[in-house]
A and B are shown apart, each in its own frame.
Chain A
Amino acid sequence: MAVLETTNLTIRFGGLTAVSKFNIALEEGELVGLIGPNGAGKTTAFNMLTGVYQPSEGTIAFCDAPLCSATKALQPFQITRRGIARTFQNIRLFKELSVLDNVKIAYHQNVKYGLLPAFLHTAQYQTEEVEIEEKALEFLKIFSLDTKKAEKAKNLPYGEQRRLEIARALATNPKLLLLDEPAAGMNPQETQQLMELINFIRKQFSLTILLIEHDMALVMGVCERIYVLDYGKIIAHGTPAEIRRNPKVIEAYLGEEVAHA
């Protein structure tokens, strides 16, 4: 069963067609890469998948249910509740909040108590809040961030901020995780750790993952299939080995270096 399937997804900003006829299909449990030169439309595609942008044409189906079609489009928060989570290219943590609170917000969608219990701090509020706190702490432990739970998110080192963002996205309990350049700004050693982390969470949470990345070592190392985007169009798609050999890809993006590698 396809977890995510898009047909002819197109978005135009005025006269500019940023992404056109974007067709991808992800099977359950796959780890797929999306690569392409700067400005190819990778993040725009992510923004359409998560409802931040409304596509001009085309449809998105998630687990065989439409997220976006000609007649209706879900809001980003509704898409999150269906089970798609994402991280951002330029980290978007809740900077002034503690590490723990950053994760707690992901559990907001499960909160059952209404406004009145919130105003009065009733027993229902107490039990649910305790539950949220326990779940959030457990999560931080998995990502070994529990020792920094009270720290403000903005005070974490860069690598940990990236990790916290992934933790926060996973706390929404997604089926599909979209990672937007998770290795940006990391050194090779940190990238290595990240690769291990991605492989770990994929098994632990039985996730399907779509990954945007510029770090070829990472993409070629972990992805099973790769889509290549250039000027808003998919120009190639296949296994890492196929992509490495594809002349169109080499011309558009990879350049000499990887071709010889």
Chain B
Amino acid sequence: MAKRFSAILQLVLLLAVGYAIQMAMDAELINRYYAHVMTIMAIFVVGAVSLNLINGICGQFSLGHAGFMAVGAYTAAIITKNPDLILPAIFTGNIRFILATLLGGMMAALVGFMVGLPSLRLRGDYLAIVTLGFGEIIRILLLNWDFVGGASGYFGLARHTNFFAAFLLSIITITIIRNFIQSSHGRACISIREDEIAAETMGVPTTRYKVIAFVIASFFAGTAGSMMAHLTQMVTPASFTFILSIELLLMVVLGGLGSISGSIGAAIFLTYAAEALRAFRAYRMILYSLLLIFIMLFRPKGLLGNQELSLSLLRESFKNLRARWRRKKKDGITAAAE
């Protein structure tokens, strides 16, 4: 009970901090540009953490996360822009936006279910191929759908997303996915990553859990898409290319496959890096590839491996460092004595 109480207290405190930052932004204490970047960071946290559920926790390999963001973004955009389409007109303003975001997520989850069910029954790299194809199919469908503006995109959305909305969504995503991982259902997903055949013989219905993880991740990707759409106030097929999927994948791999805190850190860092290196934007993909190669060479499990960043982990590594330093010093002394 005490544990539960402190968890809730933590959440409340976090949200209070988020809200305070939002107030500072509204009072223009924080530069508009930084406010925008911070909001994008929070959205990318949602994208990366949800992708980690598929690639890191469940051990499957999805390359189509941008596709699910696109489904969510367009669904939500259609709902908020057409006051009497899909949702009745009594829902207006932010309420309509929240419902639209939820529906966008659900639509993405539904599409995720349809894509995942046939491809996740197979073992191996089929999912990567299917999701890669799926992402492109979605983009090309949107490119040719005149109702949502085709190639030029869907414009004139109201600006519903502010920092606090994106922050709130990222906290909800992190909490739900973390809770899921700690549950028996989450353990079932991890066992699939570790050894699919053994998981099956331990009584885990592997296909079902792969689909569940895929659908949950698709849902959050859809909500992130909606947030993005209502931040930039437009959606174009060009904002959901394969490159976006790769960027999200890079965040997951850099942070550590299976580490939620790693994904959060990497999402924040890479969004910041992309902004800081805006002048070299043309070389971005080269940098990404180099970064991926370096991770694979020197830190194949990602920065955090599959551990979570916590105080005890920090204490542990600090102790290790100190022990190593002491040993070195001692070695130095004995070497000098000889």
Contact = CB atoms under 8 A, between A and B. Distances in A.
Given A92-B195, A96-B194, A96-B306, A105 B187 contact: yes
Contacts of B7: 121
A186 B199 CA distance: 25
B190 A121 contact: no
A162 interface: no
Interface string B157-186: 000000000000000000010011011111
Q: Interface residues of A toward B: which range?
A: 35 or more
Nearest to B198: A92
Contacts of B179: 118-121
A75 B176 CA distance: 30
B313 to A, nearest CB: 14
B203 A109 contact: yes
A134 B45 CA distance: 35
Given A77-B206, A92-B195, A97-B191, A118 B186 contact: yes
B194 A94 contact: yes
A172 interface: yes
Contact of B184 (A80, A85, A104): A104
A88 B198 contact: yes
Chain B interface, >50% SS class = helix
B201 interface: yes
Contacts of A113: 183-184
A108 interface: yes
B203 A77 contact: yes
A105 B183 contact: no
Contacts of B200: 52, 75-77, 80
B197 interface: yes
Nearest to B205: A77
B176 A119 contact: yes
A85 B205 contact: no
A177 to B, nearest CB: 12
Contacts of A120: 176, 179
Contacts of B185: 108, 111, 115, 118
Contact of A105 (B176, B202, B205, B212): B202
Interface string A85-98: 11010001111110
A86 B201 contact: yes
A50 interface: yes
Interface string B31-64: 0000000000000000000000000000000000
Nearest to B185: A118
A156 interface: no
Interface in A108-157: 108-109, 111, 113, 115, 117-121, 125-126, 128-129, 132
B184 A132 contact: yes
A126 B198 CA distance: 26
A210 B247 CA distance: 51
Contacts of A115: 180, 185, 212
B204 interface: yes
Given A96-B306, A104-B184, A108-B184, A81 B203 contact: yes
B4 interface: yes
B212 A77 contact: no
B218 to A, nearest CB: 14
A94 B183 contact: no
A95 B59 CA distance: 14
A85 B188 contact: no
A7 to B, nearest CB: 23
B203 A50 contact: no
Given A75-B205, A105-B187, A107-B184, A93 B199 contact: no
A96 B188 CA distance: 14
Contacts of A225: none
Contacts of A172: 202-203
Contacts of A119: 176, 179-180
Nearest to B7: A121
Given A77-B204, A77-B205, A108 B180 contact: no
Nearest to A84: B201
A50 B203 CA distance: 11
A95 B176 CA distance: 25
A120 B202 CA distance: 26
B197 A92 contact: yes
A97 B202 contact: no
Contacts of A96: 194, 306
Contacts of B201: 50, 52, 76-77, 80, 85-86
A45 to B, nearest CB: 15
Nearest to A112: B184
A106 interface: yes
A80 B203 contact: yes
Given A94-B190, A105-B191, A108-B184, 14 more contacts: A52-B200, A76-B200, A80-B202, A85-B201, A92-B195, A105-B187, A106-B203, A108-B204, A118-B185, A119-B180, A120-B179, A121-B7, A121-B183, A125-B183
Closest 10 CB pairs of A and B: A118-B183, A94-B194, A109-B203, A92-B198, A80-B203, A76-B200, A111-B184, A119-B176, A105-B191, A77-B205
Interface of A: 50, 52, 75-77, 80-81, 85-86, 88, 92-97, 101, 104-109, 111, 113, 115, 117-121, 125-126, 128-129, 132, 168, 172
7 contacts: A76-B201, A77-B200, A101-B190, A104-B187, A109-B203, A118-B179, A129-B183
